[in-house]
Amino acid sequence: MLASFPWQKREISNFDYLMYLNTLAGRSYNDYMQYPVFPWVLADYLSKTLNLTNPHTFRDLSKPMGAQTVERKHKFIQRYNEVEKNLSAQCHYCTHYSSAIIVASYLVRLQPFTQTFCSLQGGNFDVADRMFHSVKSTWESASRDNMSDVRELIPEFFYLPEFLTNANNFELGCMQDGTVLGDVQLPPWADGDPHKFILLHRQALESDYVSAHLHRWIDLIFGYKQHGSAAVEAVNIYHPYFYGHKTDLNNIKDPLIKSTILGFISNFGQIPKQV
């Protein structure tokens, strides 16, 4: 990995190294479609106290979000092997871990992301039950429950408590169970305090466990497990349109096909450049 020695020596933080890799890979705060991508690092959103010395507290960084449970992993492998009739290409995932709508949904309580999210949704907020309202439920969706959800995180989860509060009092709707959406629901170990959540979440990112395993996630997102046989083995193959370097739009003469591909990339995201 380029310039990894200072990171390996712990001379720079995990956060700074991830930002460096995102920049090398062409990711930028200025492009929602190629926004910096960060990993889920925790798997414990139930405990009253966060134990950063327990390996079970953490997400398996050697596996993509689609392979965090054995059952889910097998389902995606089956999809890849069967090439379902409604798929246009062989892949594990038809959705992506980072896209404009994912970024805007996380940051929807802050402008200008509120406006961006509504614009992407046709001018309105989404159905309340689909809005980002709980860290725990979002983790469960992306890691276990929803076969269309393999999202990762964004840098703000590690430094910006304001995105977790509805300080602007936006009317985000009411869920089917009667819950009125407001501030994001936090894990018990955060004690309802966004600042504590960010502090502990950043400590988790910089913990010894994550420092020892983060390179495995980097291989999946930025490295050699992005594509090819290594990606197949890692259950890490996405729809071909997500791989920008593999799609030469200049050679596509049909304007409808070109427009479809551009729309697909715009809506669902892009794989970072390999570094």
**Residue 57 is assigned to a structural domain of this protein:** yes
Q: Output 259 or 275, whichever has higher pLDDT.
A: 275
Split at pLDDT 50, 70, 90, the class of 183 is very high
**How far is 252 from 259, CA to CA, in rounded Å?**
10
Q: Output 195 or 81, whichever has higher pLDDT.
A: 195
Judge residue 267's burial from the number of C-beta atoms within 10 Å of its C-beta, 0-12 exposed, 13-18 middle, 19 or more buried.
middle
**How far is 133 from 105, CA to CA, in rounded Å?**
10
- pLDDT for res 255: 75
Helix axes 14-24, 194-205, angle to 10 degrees: 80
- pLDDT for res 242: 85
Residue type, 263: G
Chain centroid, CA 215 distance in Å: 17
- pLDDT for res 250: 64
- Which of 77-81, 162-166, 260-264 reaches the highest mean pLDDT? 162-166
**How far is 8 from 2, CA to CA, in rounded Å?**
11
**Residue 239 is assigned to a structural domain of this protein:** yes
Split at pLDDT 50, 70, 90, the class of 243 is confident
**Cβ distance 101 to 120 under 8 Å?**
yes
Q: What is the CATH number of the domain that holds 78?
A: 1.10.1540.10
Mean pLDDT in residue range 69-94: 84
**How far is 176 from 68, CA to CA, in rounded Å?**
28
- pLDDT for res 66: 97
Judge residue 184's burial from the number of C-beta atoms within 10 Å of its C-beta, 0-12 exposed, 13-18 middle, 19 or more buried.
buried
Question: Is the preceding omega at residue 64 within 30 degrees of 0, hence cis?
Answer: no
Q: Which two tokens stand for residue 43?
A: 């798997």
Split at pLDDT 50, 70, 90, the class of 246 is low
Q: Rounded to the nearest 5 degrees, what angle is found at the Cα of 264, between the Cα atoms of 274 and 126?
A: 110
**Cβ distance 16 to 6 under 8 Å?**
no
Neighbours of 250 (CB within 10 A): 6
- pLDDT for res 249: 62
**Residue 33 is assigned to a structural domain of this protein:** yes
* Residue 134: domain span: 3-268
Mean pLDDT in residue range 246-268: 67
**Cβ distance 95 to 146 under 8 Å?**
no
- pLDDT for res 240: 84
Q: Which residue has the tokens 């892009």?
A: 270
**Residue 11 is assigned to a structural domain of this protein:** yes
- pLDDT for res 8: 67
- pLDDT for res 239: 86
Mean pLDDT of the chain: 90
> Is the confidence at residue 7, as pLDDT, over 90?
no
- Quote the pTM value: 0.90
**Residue 274 is assigned to a structural domain of this protein:** no
Q: What is the number of domains present in the chain?
A: 1
**Cβ distance 272 to 222 under 8 Å?**
yes
DSSP-based three-state secondary structure for 238: strand
Segment (H or E) for 139:
helix 135-140
- pLDDT for res 131: 94
Q: Alpha carbon of 237 to those of 61, 251, 255, 275: distances in Å?
A: 16, 24, 27, 18
> Is the confidence at residue 256, as pLDDT, over 80?
no
- 197-201, 241-245, 250-254: segment of lowest average pLDDT: 250-254
Q: Output 128 or 163, whichever has higher pLDDT.
A: 163
